Structure 1
Amino acid sequence: MDQLLRYIAKIPGALMVVPLFFGAIINTLAPEVLEIGSFTTALFKDGTSVLIAIFFVSVGSQISFKTALPSVEKGIVLLLSKFGVAALVGVAVAFLTPDGTLWGLLPLAVIAAMSNSSGSLFVALTSQFGSKTDKGSISILSINDGPFLTMIALGAAGLADFPVQTLFAAIFPIILGFILGNSSSIARAFLAPGEKLIIPFVGFSIGAGIDFNELVRSGAIGVLLGLMTLVFSGTATITCVYLWHRIRRHPRESRNLVAGAAESAVAGNAIATPAAIAAIDPSLLGIQAEATAQIATAVVVTTFLTPFLVSFVASRQRKLGITPEAEDRLFEEATPDTSDNESESIEHTTRPTGQEVKQPEFTLDRE
């Protein structure tokens, strides 16, 4: 078993992808297996919301006050870039194609899929590959859950109220974890293992809600939507995170782009967006089912491809000397004003002399 697990660990994003894949296979071929009831169904089929809530508490506990502001900034950058490209592509399909669709791909499906990001997959991937600010940015990204941003992009914002209570309910677990982790080092240490421990269970539970038959139902159009989301959303979010690093003049080694790649997936709750939109605008009832099928397929496609994209980006930037750890140090440590002094300090602190080296006043404050 140990040898098998070592082999599986070589798969990009294995901690999330492998359990998710098995969950999807079981749900497609024998869904009744997950419906036997009691604790089995509660954990493997219906436990997604609870597991993610606990996961958010663990993640929030590891975010320090020093990284809270950068997390908010990064979250805003990701939110605006993902929504912007969704609106741009959706409007282009609606107005620049002969019949208002692209080979049958509906603007409603494009905007709903591209503007909704998979929060659970995002946090799972950033926990495995990203920095603390990556994980913390989910507090802002929760805004794009549901049909709210899709309504804005479709020109229906006046028909909807901003779901403040729903938004607060979605981010409260991470706020609670943030308070616990910053008020008690014991609580932070206790909750830390939850970040990775829960990932495979969340992955399987998400997979248990995926049906591979959706790929057949919407055909190549749904697959195209998934690929478009991966390419357009991924490119936009990665580029904007990079520009944020440049504008903020962060050192090169701290320009971590994992969060941008992790934001390239379609959220499972986007599947319900066409129904919510059609309930407000009955004129869209005729395309509701078709849009839903296209989005469902895009969810399946991006759920499996996004971890590979994140793994590639993480591996590529490490080869270039860019790491999430460097980004964490940037926001958590008292860095000096000049990079020369910082380099000198690091050199002194890591010199293998076997003796304690007296630090100058400008050296990094390491825990």
Structure 2
Amino acid sequence: MKIKDAIDKIPGGLMLVPLFLGALCKTFIPWAPDYFAGFTKGMMTGVIPILAVWFFCMGASIKLNAAGTVLRKSGTIVLTKLLAAWAITIVAAMFIPAEGIQTGFFAGLSILAIVCAMDMTNGGLYASLMQTYGTKEEAGAFVLTSIESGPLMSMIILGASGAATFEPQIYVGAVLPFIIGFVLGNLDPKLREFFSPGGMLMIPFFAFALGNTIDLNTLISPLAFLGIFLAIMVIILTGIPLILADKYIGGGTGTAGLAASSTAGAAAANPVAIAAVAPQFTEVAKTATTLVAICVIVTSILVPILTGIWYKKFGKGKAEAKDVPLSSKAAAH
């Protein structure tokens, strides 16, 4: 059976297929991890340790002379995502009251839901897509996306300055495996050669574990259509600036920008966390959580597909053109 060939025909298939299988497990057999326990439970629920090993391997695969590219890509993606979310929030606040919209198709939509859906990129999803459609340096550009983690940036965008607790060691911990891998890979080329394949090998395992955090029943809740609409807006309103920034600032093809136009899984926890320190959001926190969860699911499905299509139409050709020797180009003229 040519299973791998079939998966490769699906845009982002190496990430998307295991993700969907994990979501099916979470939806129809949510008791499985506790029932089987042991290593099976670890594989189904071990998102964090699997991701840590994955990031370590990616760090080890990047050469020192590429560090500038990684930081440039990281900074471009993070700043563009945050600025886009900030601008969207400012505009939305002109039309949406603090208590959210109460009637019509948009009933339940609030500023809180918009901010939490817009401002956090799914770093694991982005990195896995760049492993398939980008370069090692682009894959490593997830390194600064940890700055977006937690409710801090959402609260800053909402204007709740001083209301959040910022613990620097959490952000250090998020990038430490990558940094250690990067250091070891550059101290010893043999270590880089040994660990580098792990970046690609870990993708389906991480995707399956991530899928086991997604309950597909969320898609049939009363807020499903609004959540799907919000997810599409996340991709459009953050994806367009990210594509432009990647092309004209990051020096890419736009593929990395589109790959970053998702909603992070951790974003679903932000509405409640923000409401705990900003009581004015208490009434909309539950609805916002549901909407953001739907955004996580929908963007996890759509972004890999759209990124694969974009790469085939715009990214792959440009990458191949860069590989053509200058002498060949001159001969063509």
What is the TM-score of this pair, normalised by structure 2? 0.91
Q: Structure 1 counterpart of 2:54, which letter?
A: F
Q: Is the 8 A contact 2:127 2:141 kept in 1?
A: no
- Equivalent position of 2:106 in the other structure: 103
1:242 to 247, 256, 268: 247
Alpha-carbon distance in structure 1 between the residues aligned to 2:317 and 2:14 = 25
Deviations 1:89-117 (A, max 9, x none): 22222213478548132111111111011
Q: Show structure 2 runs of 5+ residues with no match.
A: none
2:54 is the counterpart of 1:49: no
Where in structure 2 are the equivalents of 1:131-280 lying within 5 Å? Answer: 131-217=135-221, 218-245=223-250, 255-280=252-277
Kept in 1, the 8 Å contact 2:18–2:205? The answer is: yes
Q: In the TM superposition, what is the alpha-carbon distance from 1:321 to its structure 2 partner?
A: 2.7
- Distance in 2 (CA, whole Å) between partners of 1:322 and 1:190 is 26
**CA–CA distance in structure 2, aligned partners of residues 317 and 131 of structure 1:** 15
Structure 1 counterpart of 2:106, one-letter code: W
- SS for the counterpart of 1:210 is coil
Gaps spanning 5+ residues in structure 1: where?
A: 330-338, 349-367
Contact 1:87/1:153 (<8 A) preserved: yes
Looking at CA atoms only, which structure, 1 or 2, has the larger radius of gyration?
1
- Whether the aligned pair in 1 keeps the contact of 2:58 and 2:140 (CA below 8 Å) is yes
Give 1:199's aligned amino acid.
I
Amino acid at match of 1:225: L
CA deviation vs aligned residue, 1:138-195 (integer Å, no higher than 9, x gap): 1111111111110110101222243311100000010011001111011001101101
Q: CA deviation at 1:346?
A: 9.6
Question: Contact 2:253/2:318 (CA < 8 Å) preserved in 1?
Answer: no
Measured in 2, the distance between the counterparts of 1:256 and 1:66 equals 21
2:231 is paired with a residue of what secondary structure? Answer: helix
Q: Does residue 89 in structure 1 map to residue 88 in structure 2?
A: yes
The CA distance in 2 between the partners of 1:120 and 1:191, in whole Å, is 18
Contact 1:68 1:136 in 2 (8 A): no
Match of 1:127 among 108, 127, 131: 131
The runs of 4+ residues in structure 1 deviating greater than 4 Å are 97-100, 345-348
Aligned pair in 2 of structure 1 residues 346, 54: CA closer, same or farther (>3 Å)? farther
Corresponding residue pairs, total: 324
**Inter-CA distance 318–230: structure 2 relative to 1 (3 Å threshold):** closer
Residues 1:118 and 2:122 aligned together: yes
One-letter identity of the residue aligned with 2:116: A
Q: Percent identity?
A: 33
